[in-house]
């Protein structure tokens, strides 16, 4: 039987939501498939099928030309897809027991894969061959990020690449030399701070590494010296995703970082950096809650920037939660928040986030159907639009699963 349409979003997939550079297409995982779906037409979906178990992580290259996906299970393959042809480009078979994360470098030349087997491998996307790998890490990194080209002592870019990994009480800066095939590690100095790092991003100028933690704060580490610079509290429930980009200056010529943090309590907060007179130190401050923050229905599993208005400072984001809901958000940059419209969060798609236990059509009609789930929700759907017309919730501890 051929799959016609799939409803749902997996908020627990690593890097589980991406926006194609075309601006009107999203890529995300669902079960053993990678979905390519239109934001304009609910009926327009494509499926990438090449896994025999649940997809655990996905990534989209900078230009949108390549998609990478990894799976759990014994056949822990990484599949690299061509976006235009929907064809399999490479099948990378190096990991055992499951793939935890896949990440393209910003120039699309390399792909980083991290497995449950504690291996970290860098692949050449021109040949599909291994460039470098670590055989056995002390622990599997929880998060990773590429940071463009590494810089020398004078601050000039070199031919080497930089990346970082984080985990339990561990934050590591790596340098990849493609010519030698070497990965060199350098531990960041965090003093007496102990954190379980869960999300990473480089600042827009790559001068700082921003590391979110399960303690619901993010640590800024100076890349040049690999030393802790500051720690900023940003929510509760742990940091699950973090984005960093250059803040809009509104024509003022002022430079700064714009930080967007998604947490396990469902909050998304926008912060902006302030620098001292010497332009060397930065502090990160939150904007007004009514314009620079939003609260969603569950832990933020994925978050991507859709558009940034340089003049008004408006940020348009897509975010997915662990409860299977996909949102379109409109927030403001903190420095331009006063007088800006209130923050908005609009539901694009909702679904069950636990197994569906029942499905029923009404008599003599195929335009509607109802579903019940182990998550305690009951929904009535419109087949023509795939939208929820009505929903209800019950406590399964009292009523049992429908």
61, 15 contact by CB (below 8 A): no
Give the pLDDT confidence of 359-382 residue by residue, as tens digits: 999 998 899 999 999 989 999 999
Which is more confident, 8 or 84?
84
Kindly compute the dihedral angle of the four CA atoms of residues 39, 42, 48, 53, in this order, to the nearest 10 degrees.
Answer: 110
* Beta-bridge mates of residue 242: 261
Per-residue model confidence (pLDDT) at position 21? 93
pLDDT band at 112 (very low <50, low <70, confident <90, very high): very high
- 395 pLDDT band, cuts 50/70/90, is confident
Tell me the per-residue pLDDT of 81-92, one tens digit each, with 9 for 90 and over.
999 999 999 999
Average pLDDT over every residue of 314-318: 95
Q: Mean of the pLDDT values across residues 339-366?
A: 91
Asked whether 64 and 21 are in contact (CB, 8 A), the reply is: yes
Q: Alpha-carbon distance 348 to 85, whole Å? A: 27
**How crowded is residue 62: how many other Cβ atoms within 10 Å of its Cβ?**
12
pLDDT for the residue numbered 138:
86
Of 283 and 389, which is predicted with more confidence?
Answer: 389
What are 281-293's pLDDT values in tens digits? 678 889 899 999 9
Least trusted range by pLDDT, from 80-94, 240-254, 261-275, 370-384: 240-254
> Residue 334 contacts by C-beta under 8 Å, 6 or more apart in sequence?
270, 271, 272, 285, 286, 287, 288, 292
* Stretch among 315-324, 348-357, 390-399 having the lowest mean pLDDT: 390-399
φ/ψ of residue 173, rounded to 5: -100, 130
191: left (phi over 0), alpha (psi -120 to 50) or beta: left
DSSP state of 42: T
> Band of the pLDDT at 251, cuts 50, 70, 90?
low
Order across the sheet with 120-124: list the strands. Answer: 99-104, 110-115, 120-124, 130-134
Task: Identify the pLDDT of residue 278.
Answer: 52
User: What rounded mean pLDDT belongs to the chain?
Assistant: 91
pLDDT at residue 253, as a whole number: 52
Q: How far apart are the first and last CA of the chain?
A: 27
Residue 131 banded pLDDT, cuts 50, 70, 90: very high
How many CA atoms within 13 Å lie on the side-chain side of 212?
A: 28
User: Per-residue pLDDT tens for 133-182?
Assistant: 998 888 899 999 999 999 998 889 999 999 999 999 999 999 999 999 99
Query: H or E stretch including 297?
Result: none
Q: How far apart are CA 275 and CA 266, in angstroms?
A: 29
pLDDT of residue 72: 93
Return the higher-pLDDT residue of 59 and 4: 59
Which of 297, 299, 317, 300 has the alpha carbon at shortest distance from 308? 317
- Rg of the chain's alpha carbons, rounded to an integer? 22
DSSP E strands, 11-156: 17-19, 25-30, 33-38, 45-49, 55-60, 66-71, 78-82, 88-92, 99-104, 110-115, 120-124, 130-134, 143-151
Cβ neighbours, 10 Å, residue 152: 9
pLDDT, residue 282, reads: 76
Q: How confident is the model at residue 345 (pLDDT cuts 50, 70, 90)?
A: very high
**Are 115 and 165 in contact, with CB atoms under 8 Å apart?**
no
Give the pLDDT confidence of 28-50 residue by residue, as tens digits: 998 899 999 998 888 899 999 99
Distance CA 162, CA 116 (A): 22
Residue 62 banded pLDDT, cuts 50, 70, 90: very high
């Amino acid at each position: 039987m051929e799959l016609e349409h799939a409803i749902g979003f997996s908020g627990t997939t690593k890097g589980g939501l991406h926006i194609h550079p075309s601006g009107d297409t999203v890529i995300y995982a669902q079960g053993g498939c990678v979905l390519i779906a239109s934001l304009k037409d609910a009926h327009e979906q494509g499926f990438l099928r090449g896994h025999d178990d649940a997809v655990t992580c996905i990534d989209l290259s900078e230009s949108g030309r390549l998609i990478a996906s990894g799976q759990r299970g014994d056949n822990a393959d990484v599949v690299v897809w061509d976006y235009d042809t929907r064809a399999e480009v490479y099948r990378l078979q190096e990991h055992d027991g499951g793939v935890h994360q896949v990440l393209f470098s910003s120039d699309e030349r390399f792909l980083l894969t991290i497995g449950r087997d504690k291996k970290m491998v860098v692949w050449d996307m021109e040949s599909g061959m291994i460039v470098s790998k670590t055989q056995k890490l002390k622990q599997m990194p929880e998060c990773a990020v590429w940071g463009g080209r590494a810089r020398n002592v004078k601050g000039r870019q070199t031919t080497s690449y930089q990346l970082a990994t984080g985990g339990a009480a561990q934050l590591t800066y790596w340098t990849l030399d493609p010519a030698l095939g070497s990965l060199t590690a350098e531990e960041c100095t965090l003093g007496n701070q102990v954190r379980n790092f869960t999300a990473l991003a480089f600042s827009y100028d790559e001068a700082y590494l921003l590391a979110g933690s399960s303690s619901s704060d993010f640590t800024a580490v100076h890349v040049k010296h690999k030393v802790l610079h500051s720690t900023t509290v940003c929510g509760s429930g742990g940091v699950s995703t973090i984005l960093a980009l250059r803040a809009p200056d509104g024509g003022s010529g002022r430079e700064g970082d714009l930080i967007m943090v998604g947490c396990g309590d469902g909050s998304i907060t926008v912060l902006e950096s302030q620098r001292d007179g010497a332009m060397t130190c930065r502090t990160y401050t939150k904007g007004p809650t009514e314009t620079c923050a939003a609260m969603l229905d569950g832990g933020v599993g994925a978050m991507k920037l859709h558009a940034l208005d340089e003049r008004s400072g408006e940020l348009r984001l897509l975010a997915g939660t662990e409860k299977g809901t996909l949102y379109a958000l409109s927030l403001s940059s903190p420095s331009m928040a006063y007088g800006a419209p209130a923050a908005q969060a609009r539901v694009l798609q909702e679904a069950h986030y636990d197994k569906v236990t029942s499905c029923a059509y009404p008599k003599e009609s195929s335009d509607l159907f109802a579903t019940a789930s182990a998550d305690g929700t009951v929904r009535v759907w419109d087949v023509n639009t795939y939208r929820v017309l009505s929903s209800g919730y019950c406590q399964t501890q009292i009523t049992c699963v429908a």
